């Protein structure tokens, strides 16, 4: 007789709310300052002004989608210069690799937007509902008038933070003062309201309710970080050889850890660092502040929980001094990341200073490939996109390479020059002709080079293309 199948084990675990306790210390102070600086940069930047002259926006940082340009103070990035943005993204990735290799998940613990806004939301929650114990009692009590009032106030403040966060985001894409007026008066584009609503709800949800769930389940970085770390990476750890066995200090043979749970109660991820390194740990350092405070109270040396590398653990267990911090930070892997990061940065800076304020792209008209005129001349047609990236109107001269057997004329223009307005892209049709019987007219393909220069010839760019002749 067969036994009935046991009930399958559920893989779902309901979220247990985390109520971090307030803590004071050097790492908590550092996090406050980083939060203040990062939020200040985010909220204030769209309102900064930068004079670029007439016919250009005066917002210091602006992603101008309508005109397909990105403004960053004195720098102006055009669509064909997207490699600058790609280079910045590569630098950001290499920087993340560098810091993770050196000091673990320092980005996650201090500067990640999820961490920064969660800290802000917890600050509001603590201000409205009280510290850890008061918030736990409120969470467990029934929905009476006190709970309804406190939750309503807290959620209203959270929603206001989310609304401001979403509003500031759309300010980066158009003139901030004008958009602010349009939003209030109801004259803004529906896309602005939709974007604000989405970002308001996501900020409200991620910072207020999801919190550590975003870091554990939604973010891929906890799973990638292992490849960036090695035995010399400095990260947060519990010195169990000093703290164990846990217990009261009055009990003979006890370690320094009195099992006060302070490190667990202050952790925004709700983990116990004494259980070893865990994927959920964001190395924010709050457990260090809490433990150091306890050590001060019981008269024990600080550092029971602290930043330490795996190689230092072996040395400390043997009673030796740990290696210097610099020997952990400056090693082959981190030096390699630093060199790569610097190389990309230098390359971007050089490219930025060497770029010219004029640019050209050429599109051959291939329907038909060529036209045979009445006298046997072979003509090819090209559409040129001329970009004047300077702040004033300029004459652009269009020519072929000196000594070329081909001739060039501009549609609708006298001579070989055209006026391109300031900060505009101008399309010009160009005719290139090869005399009857010449090599260019009889050969199937001929390489040609078009030159575009300003009036005094100090700024000059070229574009290589192909001239199609008769195919005998």
Question: Could you give the angle at the alpha carbon of 68 between the alpha carbons of 65 and 73, nearest 5°?
Answer: 85
Q: pLDDT tens digits for 211-268? A: 999 998 899 888 888 788 888 999 999 999 999 899 888 888 888 999 999 999 999 9
- Give the residue-averaged pLDDT of 358-383: 91
Contacts of 434 (CB under 8 A, 6+ apart): 377, 378, 379, 405, 406, 440, 441, 446, 467, 469
pLDDT band at 13 (very low <50, low <70, confident <90, very high): low
- Give the residue-averaged pLDDT of 409-431: 89
Q: pLDDT tens digits for 92-132? A: 999 999 999 999 899 999 999 999 999 999 999 999 999 99
All structural domains of the chain: 26-83+109-221 (no CATH), 358-468 (2.60.40.10)
Rounded Cα gap, residues 168 and 42, in angstroms: 8
* Residue 7 pLDDT: 62
- Give the residue-averaged pLDDT of 366-395: 90
Q: Which SS3 state, helix, strand or coil, does residue 41 take? A: helix
- What is the pTM (predicted TM-score) of this model? 0.85
Alpha-carbon distances, residue 61 vs 64, 133, 167 (angstroms): 9, 44, 15
* Residue 4 pLDDT: 58
Which range is least confidently modeled, 47-51, 131-135, 249-253, 351-355? 249-253
* Residue 230 pLDDT: 87
* Residue 72 pLDDT: 92
- Give the residue-averaged pLDDT of 323-347: 91
- Give the residue-averaged pLDDT of 45-57: 88
- Give the residue-averaged pLDDT of 84-91: 93
pLDDT band at 5 (very low <50, low <70, confident <90, very high): low
Query: Treating both helix axes as pointing N-terminal to C-terminal, what angle do 190-205 and 176-185 enclose, rounded to 10 degrees?
Result: 90
* Residue 1 pLDDT: 44
Q: Which SS3 state, helix, strand or coil, does residue 74 take? A: coil
* Residue 300 pLDDT: 93
Q: pLDDT tens digits for 191-210? A: 999 999 999 999 999 999 99
Rounded Cα gap, residues 315 and 323, in angstroms: 8
468: pLDDT strictly greater than 80: yes
pLDDT band at 357 (very low <50, low <70, confident <90, very high): confident
Which range is least confidently modeled, 259-268, 426-435, 439-448? 439-448
Rounded Cα gap, residues 295 and 242, in angstroms: 12
**What average pLDDT does the chain have?**
90
441: pLDDT strictly greater than 70: yes
Q: How far apart are the first and last CA of the chain?
A: 90
Of 124-138, 320-334, 443-457, which one has max mean pLDDT?
124-138
In the chain, % helix, strand, coil (3-state, to 5) comes to 45, 20, 35
Rounded Cα gap, residues 215 and 206, in angstroms: 10
| Contact in structure between 441 and 419 (CB atoms under 8 Å) | no
Rounded Cα gap, residues 149 and 128, in angstroms: 10
- Give the residue-averaged pLDDT of 22-42: 96
Q: pLDDT tens digits for 152-187? A: 999 999 999 999 999 999 999 999 999 999 999 999
* Residue 147 pLDDT: 94
pLDDT above 70 as % of the chain: 97
Q: pLDDT tens digits for 297-332? A: 999 999 999 999 988 888 888 888 888 888 888 899
pLDDT band at 415 (very low <50, low <70, confident <90, very high): confident
* Residue 292 pLDDT: 95
Token code pair at residue 370: 């060529």
Rounded Cα gap, residues 98 and 95, in angstroms: 5
Residue among 325, 336, 303 at smallest CA distance from 103:
325
């Amino acid at each position: 007789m067969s036994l009935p199948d046991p009930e399958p084990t559920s893989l779902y675990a309901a979220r247990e709310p985390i109520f971090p306790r307030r803590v004071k210390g050097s790492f908590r102070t550092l996090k406050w300052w980083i939060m203040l600086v990062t939020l200040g940069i985010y909220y204030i930047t769209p309102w900064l002004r930068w004079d670029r002259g007439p016919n250009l926006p005066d917002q210091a940082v602006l992603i101008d989608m309508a005109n397909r340009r990105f403004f960053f103070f004195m720098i102006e990035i055009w669509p064909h210069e997207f490699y600058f943005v790609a280079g910045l993204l590569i630098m950001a990735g290499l920087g993340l690799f560098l810091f993770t290799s050196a000091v673990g998940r320092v980005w996650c613990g201090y500067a990640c937007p999820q961490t920064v806004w969660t800290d802000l939301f917890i600050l509001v929650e603590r201000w409205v509902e009280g510290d850890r114990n008061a918030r736990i009692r409120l969470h467990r009590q029934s929905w009476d008038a006190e709970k309804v009032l406190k939750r309503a106030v807290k959620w209203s403040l959270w929603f206001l933070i989310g609304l401001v966060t979403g509003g500031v985001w759309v300010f980066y894409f158009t003139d901030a003062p004008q958009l602010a007026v349009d939003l209030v008066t109801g004259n803004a584009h529906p896309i602005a309201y939709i974007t604000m609503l989405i970002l308001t709800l996501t900020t409200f949800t991620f910072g207020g309710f999801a919190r550590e769930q975003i870091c554990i389940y939604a973010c891929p970085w906890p799973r990638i970080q292992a490849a960036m770390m090695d035995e010399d990476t400095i990260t947060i750890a519990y010195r169990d050889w000093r703290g164990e066995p846990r217990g009261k200090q009055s009990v003979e043979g006890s370690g320094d850890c009195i099992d006060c749970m302070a490190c667990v109660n202050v952790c925004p991820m709700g983990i116990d660092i004494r259980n070893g390194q865990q994927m959920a740990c964001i190395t924010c350092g709050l457990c260090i502040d809490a433990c150091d405070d306890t050590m001060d109270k019981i008269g024990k040396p600080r550092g029971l929980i602290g930043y330490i590398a795996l190689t230092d653990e072996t040395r400390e267990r043997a009673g030796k001094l740990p290696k210097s911090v610099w020997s952990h930070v400056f090693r082959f892997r981190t030096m390699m990341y630093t060199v790569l990061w610097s190389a990309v940065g230098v390359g971007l800076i050089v490219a930025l200073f060497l770029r010219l304020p004029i640019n050209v792209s050429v599109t051959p008209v291939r329907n038909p490939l060529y036209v045979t005129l009445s006298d046997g001349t072979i003509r090819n047609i090209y559409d040129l996109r001329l970009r004047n990236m300077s702040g004033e109107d300029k004459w652009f001269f269009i020519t072929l390479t000196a000594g070329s057997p081909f001739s060039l004329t501009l549609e609708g223009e006298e001579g070989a020059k055209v006026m391109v307005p300031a900060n505009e892209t101008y399309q010009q049709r160009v005719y290139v002709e090869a005399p009857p019987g010449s090599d260019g007219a009889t050969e199937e393909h001929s390489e040609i080079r078009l030159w575009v220069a300003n009036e005094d010839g100090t700024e000059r760019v070229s574009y290589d293309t192909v001239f199609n002749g008769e195919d005998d």
